[in-house]
Structure 1
Amino acid sequence: MGGERVREAVAGSVALLRTADARDWDTVKAARSRWSCREAAVHVAHSLMIYASRLAARGENPHVPFSVAPEDGPGGAGALHAVETAGALLTATVRTTPRGLRAHHPCPYGTADPEGFAALGVGEVLLHTYDIAEALGLEYRPPAELAESVLTRLLPHVQPGPTPWSTLLWATGRGDLPGRAPVTDWHWVNNLVVPAERLTLESLTPATAADLAAGGDGGFDWVAGGPYDGTREASGMLLKAYEAGVHRPEFGVFVLVRREDDRAVGALGFHGAPDEEGRVEIGYDLAESARGHGYATEALRALAGWALARDDVHTLLATVDHGNRASQAVLTRSGFVRATVEEERAMGEHRETDGPLQVYLRTSAG
């Protein structure tokens, strides 16, 4: 749906702004901007062109050998033509780019996939159209689905508000929400990807988590038997954290995607953000057809190494049933050690368990 959302956002923007085509676009400043209305529209076109070019290049090179030079003339006709053209290019590029390909984008993890670039393009169109429309005396209210797609993809740490559009405006410093402080500093958050040897660990967005929790595939091509029940339950927990405003995207759920065929084999993730002592719990599961190949060990090593390299994580813990020898072996191979009886008792005072569990810990990145 990424390409379709770009097409819809551009079409709605251009249709509205063309009603003010004869106005002064060169000296009237777009709201909350140092740019004129014409310059703001050119910025949108340039951004869409950049996103299309980076995806088309199939690489991580941030350099784009293009610039946008709209036709001269009064009003906004030339700039809007540039937006329309660049939007068509991004729409086509998103539609034809393989799902797993990632290209350079700085915020905040260095890359984005086609759905991420589509959301970036929609965000640029929605927000700058709002700025231009306000300056030209027009009322702009895009479809709620477009605003929600930007929120759930690029602002996963922002608690949903009364409506997606009012929340997006507030989250980007363009409006107020009852009970929330004004926003003065913000940035997009593309989903985190952690590489492993044979796998790529792709973090779920609230949108993909909602689809998995509801019984969908989350946009992944799963091996037989996947996604496993634990993946759907973890996705539901992520969605609840997002709705409560306590979701930390980097401490969410990661789907394990096999590089050789781009198929998902399982998931692992955190049970929340680290506590005050820098301790965080981790869990995992695999589709039955993917077990016995070392995928869980490989993924757990990669994510544990990533987490313990952070300043806010000092201890990883995992719990496993006494009789689950296979999972205990995965933890041991991944650098975890069995907690002492005293450590288990101390942690048991602060957590609920479903039955007799063993606790395993890892406290170093080695």
Structure 2
Amino acid sequence: MRSMGGDQVEEAMADAVALLRTATDRDWETTRAGRPEWSCRYTAEHVAGVLLAYAGQLAGRATEGWVPFEITLDEGTGNEDVLDVLETTAALLAATLRTTPRGVRAFHPYPFRSADREGFAAMAVTEVFLHTHDLAEGLGLRYEPPAERCAELLARLFPHVRPDTDPWRTLLWATGRGDLPGRAPVTEWRWRNNLVIPSERLTLQGLTPAAATDLAAGGDGGFAWIDGGPFQGTRDAAGMLVKAYETGVHRPVWGVFALVRREDGRAVGGIGFHGVPDEQGRVEIGYDLAEAARGNGYATEGLRALSAWALGRETVTAVRATTEPENTASQAVIARAGFVRIAGETSEDGAGGEQFAYELRG
């Protein structure tokens, strides 16, 4: 899986500064930066402040809120100096990203109060792209970042947005900066970092469409897997997530999660929903483990954690699970998680085979 980290932040900033350096002789104090009601000068300061804040969150391992500091430029700082500050804050964030371990998460309010290092990197690159666009629009410059990078940002931070043939225009539309044919204008938006659900020995880490695409193609999805992982069922589930994303029906919280072991940060399996809750408030869960992880209670623990999270939603009345009649190991997992077999009810597994149905109610 293509990484999102310090190199990408510095690359985005280098391209932005190279363009903006051609317009440092302009008046940034009174020139408006594109659609936002901000001057070019304030917009540039905002980007520097955001990148420094992200570095502070990760470096300080903040978990409860924003680290209470902000950047202030010295009086008399010129436009060239502002660009130096932008490059410096990008370098500070890049260094922090490179030294932050894979599993570390720090506070970010949207939407689940945390983000990992790749989430902060993706938000930083997006900030640079969007506000360089705003500055370029205000200063009469032409700017367009790489389409492939924009597609990656959409697949990491905007999982609810159906992709389009032009990723840059889609990113602008998704952040209220442009129009797309057939889509209503966006007037309000928020970052969409992935959901992480903790349990005793595991964390259930929601897959972004970017991670799912890599898993479905045979990659690791950005996770360090135990030997033999991931199991094919996880790759198949990731492929279904990608199809839902591409057709615009993916709902991130009702997607797929990697089961990651706390003790060493290694992924041991996958678990997830078969879709959103139905009209009766029922939602179905499926799961699998890498063979080397079986027999340790991870599936039971993951099933309990995800079921509890689902039953905590107002729209959910029951969680369901199905298994083949001969799969006694899976039946034992389901029973230990508190599910009860639904008497007389069976379903088909897609290949015409019978499956037992189980349910857990809130």
Question: Structure 2-normalised TM-score?
Answer: 0.96
Shift of 1:79: 2.0
Partner residue, 1:299: 302
Deviates most, 276-285 or 318-327: 276-285
Partner residue, 2:176: 173
Question: Are 1:70 and 1:78, in contact at CA under 8 Å, matched by a contact in 2?
Answer: no
Partner residue, 1:129: 132
Deviates most, 67-76 or 212-221: 67-76
For structure 1, list consecutive stretches of 5 or more residues without a partner in the other structure.
none
Shift of 1:74: 7.2
Equivalent residues in 2 for 1:147-296, closer than 5 Å:
147-296=150-299
Structure 1 runs, 4 residues or longer, greater than 4 Å off: 71-75
Question: Are 2:66 and 2:107, in contact at CA under 8 Å, matched by a contact in 1?
Answer: no
Sequence identity, in percent? 61
Cα deviations by residue, 1:238-297 (Å, 9 ceiling, x for unpaired)? 000000000001011100010101111001001111122212111000011100000000
Question: Are 1:52 and 1:89, in contact at CA under 8 Å, matched by a contact in 2?
Answer: yes
- Per the alignment, in what secondary structure is the counterpart of residue 317 of structure 1? strand
The answer to whether 1:358 aligns with 2:351 is: no
Aligned partners of 1:245, 1:9: CA distance in 2, in Å?
A: 28
Aligned partners of 1:163, 1:38: CA distance in 2, in Å?
A: 29
Aligned length: 359
Question: Are 2:66 and 2:108, in contact at CA under 8 Å, matched by a contact in 1?
Answer: no
Cα deviations by residue, 1:119-144 (Å, 9 ceiling, x for unpaired)? 11011111111111101101110011
Question: Are 2:106 and 2:116, in contact at CA under 8 Å, matched by a contact in 1?
Answer: yes
Counterpart selection for 2:141 from 133, 138, 142: 138
- Per the alignment, in what secondary structure is the counterpart of residue 340 of structure 1? strand
- Per the alignment, in what secondary structure is the counterpart of residue 96 of structure 2? helix
Counterpart selection for 1:5 from 3, 8, 20: 8
Aligned partners of 1:137, 1:354: CA distance in 2, in Å?
A: 62
Shift of 1:145: 2.4
The answer to whether 1:112 aligns with 2:115 is: yes
Shift of 1:306: 0.4
Aligned partners of 1:202, 1:300: CA distance in 2, in Å?
A: 13
Deviates most, 249-258 or 54-63: 54-63
Question: Are 1:157 and 1:247, in contact at CA under 8 Å, matched by a contact in 2?
Answer: yes
Counterpart selection for 2:43 from 40, 56, 72: 40
Deviates most, 192-201 or 274-283: 274-283
Aligned partners of 1:208, 1:249: CA distance in 2, in Å?
A: 12
Q: What letter corresponds to residue 117 of structure 1 in structure 2?
A: F
Q: How much is the aligned-residue C-alpha RMSD, in angstroms?
A: 1.4
Q: What letter corresponds to residue 241 of structure 1 in structure 2?
A: A
**Kindly tell me: are residues 75 and 19 of structure 1, through their superposed partners in 2, closer, same or farther at Cα, counting changes over 3 Å?**
farther
Deviates most, 309-318 or 99-108: 309-318
Cα deviations by residue, 1:34-72 (Å, 9 ceiling, x for unpaired)? 221010110000000000011001231424254222354
The answer to whether 1:29 aligns with 2:32 is: yes
Aligned partners of 1:206, 1:33: CA distance in 2, in Å?
A: 29
Partner residue, 2:93: 90
Counterpart selection for 2:72 from 65, 69, 72: 69
Shift of 1:107: 0.2
Question: Are 1:160 and 1:245, in contact at CA under 8 Å, matched by a contact in 2?
Answer: yes
Shift of 1:113: 0.2
- Per the alignment, in what secondary structure is the counterpart of residue 359 of structure 1? strand
Aligned partners of 1:164, 1:72: CA distance in 2, in Å?
A: 39
Cα deviations by residue, 1:141-169 (Å, 9 ceiling, x for unpaired)? 00112212221111011000121101000
- Per the alignment, in what secondary structure is the counterpart of residue 8 of structure 2? helix
Q: What letter corresponds to residue 361 of structure 1 in structure 2?
A: E
Question: Are 1:51 and 1:117, in contact at CA under 8 Å, matched by a contact in 2?
Answer: yes
Cα deviations by residue, 1:179-225 (Å, 9 ceiling, x for unpaired)? 11111111110000000000011010011101110001111111111
Partner residue, 2:58: 55
Aligned partners of 2:69, 2:188: CA distance in 1, in Å?
A: 29
Q: What letter corresponds to residue 113 of structure 1 in structure 2?
A: D
Aligned partners of 1:104, 1:210: CA distance in 2, in Å?
A: 26
Q: What letter corresponds to residue 248 of structure 2 in structure 1?
A: G
